[in-house]
Structure 1
Amino acid sequence: MKASARLEEKIAKLLLWLFAICTLLVLFSIIAHILINGISGLSWDFITQEPKRMGKEGGIFSIIIGTIYLTVAGIVLATPIGVGAAIYLTEYVKKGRLVQIIRFATEALAAVPSIIFGLFGFVLFVITLKMGWSILSGALTLAFMVLPTIIRAAEEGIKTVPDSYREGSLALGATKWYTIRKVVLPSALPGIATGVILGIGRAIGETAAVILTAGSSLGLPTSILEPTRTLSVHLYILASEGISAKNAYASATVLIIVIVIINFLANSLMGRLAGRNGQSH
């Protein structure tokens, strides 16, 4: 019996290792394919010049700026709402049917395909509210898309804060909101940051929803009411329309590098926040 159990455990470990290796192989093969084909197209001129002839020539400077504007605007709009909803669900609402309905709605929102968000944003923001194809229309649409991710991650982060922290603060005469603001939220920062980072990852790589709401203008945006083109939309158009495979791979390489840098900085930030919280408590 013991020998059989040990054999099953060894087989399970072996399978888990194989699954992990397969996942890494898929990831590295995708990254390697893009880097091999795109690294030759990278240069300082490609990063700093404006695109010309529909992106067949020139660089991607205005596209990088547009990506930053759109992503930052979307995250800025979604984060306060997402964190506020998470606080409400974990700290104020008692467990019951209302919480179940809200969480079901959040999960359903997370499962909606991006093209549906794009159509919704196009009808509501671009046409009905007459914002046109603009950074603002795209940012509002992206905010709806990343909202479920931020809510769930912030919720889990807040739940990890021990109840003894809340009880100690309340016992000293602090109000509930003061306890949440000064005790709970600082301790939950790593979890909240995780949700924001995941939201950035989804927003920066989104294509369908962005092209329907933010447009695909190659010009340098000077206002949130102007259209723009993101890196993901740019490489999609270059590849799908056969404009320039070389520039499409180079744009994809820049996108991967940006995502890697964001994840590296985010992990470093979360590690520091977790360390500070551990020292303070």
Structure 2
Amino acid sequence: MKYSYYPGCTLKNKAEDLDAYARVSAKALGFELEEIEEWQCCGGVYPLGTDEIATKLASVRALNDAKEKGRELVTLCSACHHVLKRVNDDMKNVENIRTKANNYMDLKEPYAGETTVLHFLEVLRDRIGWDTLKEKVTNPLKGKKIGAYYGCLLLRPGKIMAFDDPENPKIMEDFIRAIGAEPVIYPYRNECCGGYISLKEKELSRGMCEKIEDSAEGFGADMLITACPLCMYNLNKNSRTDLPVYYFTELLAEALGVKDEVKKQ
């Protein structure tokens, strides 16, 4: 099975190993992530202005590329996933945005939201299945107590993202169980870490991070995992606690026994 793949700027240019872990893990699970040619930055933030069209065009190009190849579009980054999913919803349901965006672009045929956008975690849950993932694990992470940190962008707005229950999600906990570890449920797992204000309001953001990490530690977590590069950076760098934070793809590659393949590349 082959998916069109949108890596995004951070994972492609600043955290290459996290991208590579996903690719080798996909191969071990029997599918392929084929990177879109000449993809462009999605902007990282969904533009809320109803007349803001230009900043959505990079997403439309990626979505249309997947459509023309007859594939679903997969992302690893919560921010990229959020922008692509919401722009796709606009192209499907908002006539004014759809018309203006298509007028800007030279496409074989107008794009109208036909592509299915999936986060890598959704591929694991909905295409591969947790039971199959468990069968493929060769190095189960037994004894590790892991708190899932969802953040804001995967879950909200709930009706458009349709990723999981925005108030009580479980996809990352199911992932943790599938790789052999024990999930830790804690109150702040879907609260904002202050990622977008971490430079301008560092103390405020630090306080938000510490509440999250203190909450996870208080419920017995040894570490956190996240699916957002900005959240991972913020929690690791902008907090006074020592709780380690990992990207989910790294632990997936470790559990599948393919992590060392990345070091050889």
Q: TM-score range by the shorter chain?
A: under 0.3
Output the TM-score relative to the length of structure 1: 0.23
TM-score by length of 2: 0.24
Q: Which has the higher strand share?
A: 2
Q: Larger Cα Rg: Structure 1 or Structure 2? A: 1
